[in-house]
């Protein structure tokens, strides 16, 4: 009873975030080609245009795989730590960063995401893709590793990169891939990140 949870961040978005750039569309198509031989049972995606459009472009390569809208796959802050939870040397920077994001019920959505997308399959082997946003991928990876709740911060995911988490009934969750960009050419990797963060 195994679940493979495939996670990707949407493709590169336009400056107003109303959709994808040409690069973002290329990224989504290349990820769809990479996944076309994976027996996915569903593609879940968040409600914002950049996630929905990415899912649709991936879905063009996955005939018969349903696309499912999920509020839990949206863009939100999954957990807001207090200063005393954070390493003292990083607390001010993280708390200042989080001030830029509204309190929008992220805790409840993050709990829904854990309930809907994680844990072993009910029977057999199940593979699902979630097209979402940077924060939620960090949150789900953090949960898979049993890291402190604040540790979703600092886990950055590139556009249309791939992360895969395996859940089994007889062992702890394991992260098989994180931020894998091998399907993207160099010019489509790390879009939106400053050069000093490129690997």
Q: What is the pLDDT of residues 123-144, one digit of tens each?
A: 899 999 999 999 999 999 999 9
User: At residue 116, what are phi and psi to the nearest 5 degrees?
Assistant: -80, -35
What pLDDT shows up at residue 102?
84
Band of the pLDDT at 104, cuts 50, 70, 90?
Answer: confident
Cβ–Cβ < 8 Å for 63, 40: no
What pLDDT shows up at residue 105?
85
| Stretch 184-196: mean pLDDT | 89
- Residue written as tokens 């924060």? 135
Whole-number Å distance between alpha carbons of 5 and 197: 26
Cβ–Cβ < 8 Å for 135, 76: yes
CB-based burial, 78-110: b 16+ in 10 Å, e otherwise: bbbbeeeebeeeebeebeeeeeeeeeeebeebb
Mean pLDDT for the chain overall = 96
Chain centre to alpha carbon of residue 137 = 3
pTM here is 0.96
Whole-number Å distance between alpha carbons of 69 and 168: 25
42 burial (CB, 10 Å; 0-12 / 13-18 / 19+) is middle
What pLDDT shows up at residue 199?
77
| Stretch 98-124: mean pLDDT | 93
Q: Residue 198 pLDDT more than 80? A: no
Whole-number Å distance between alpha carbons of 53 and 61: 14
Q: In what order do the strands lie in the sheet with 125-132?
A: 67-69, 42-45, 125-132, 2-9, 162-168, 171-180
What pLDDT shows up at residue 94?
96
Whole-number Å distance between alpha carbons of 183 and 148: 31
Cβ–Cβ < 8 Å for 165, 141: yes
| Stretch 155-162: mean pLDDT | 96
């Amino acid at each position: 009873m195994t679940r493979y949870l495939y996670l990707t961040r949407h493709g590169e978005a336009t400056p107003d975030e109303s959709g994808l750039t040409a690069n973002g569309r290329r990224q989504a198509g290349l990820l769809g080609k990479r996944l076309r031989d994976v027996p996915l049972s569903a593609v879940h995606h968040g409600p914002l245009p950049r996630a929905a459009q990415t899912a649709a472009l991936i879905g063009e390569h996955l005939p018969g795989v349903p696309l499912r809208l999920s509020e839990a796959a949206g863009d939100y802050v999954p957990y807001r730590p207090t200063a005393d939870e954070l390493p003292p040397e990083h607390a001010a920077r993280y708390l200042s960063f989080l001030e830029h994001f509204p309190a929008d019920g992220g805790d409840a959505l993050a709990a829904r995401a854990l309930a809907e997308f994680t844990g072993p399959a009910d029977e057999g082997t199940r593979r699902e893709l979630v097209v979402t946003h940077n924060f939620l991928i960090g949150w789900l990876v953090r949960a898979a590793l049993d890291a402190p709740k604040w540790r979703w911060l600092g886990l950055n995911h590139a556009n249309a990169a791939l992360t895969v988490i395996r859940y089994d009934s007889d062992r702890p969750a394991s992260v098989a891939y994180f931020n894998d960009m091998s399907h993207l050419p160099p010019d489509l990797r790390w879009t939106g990140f400053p050069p000093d963060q490129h690997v």
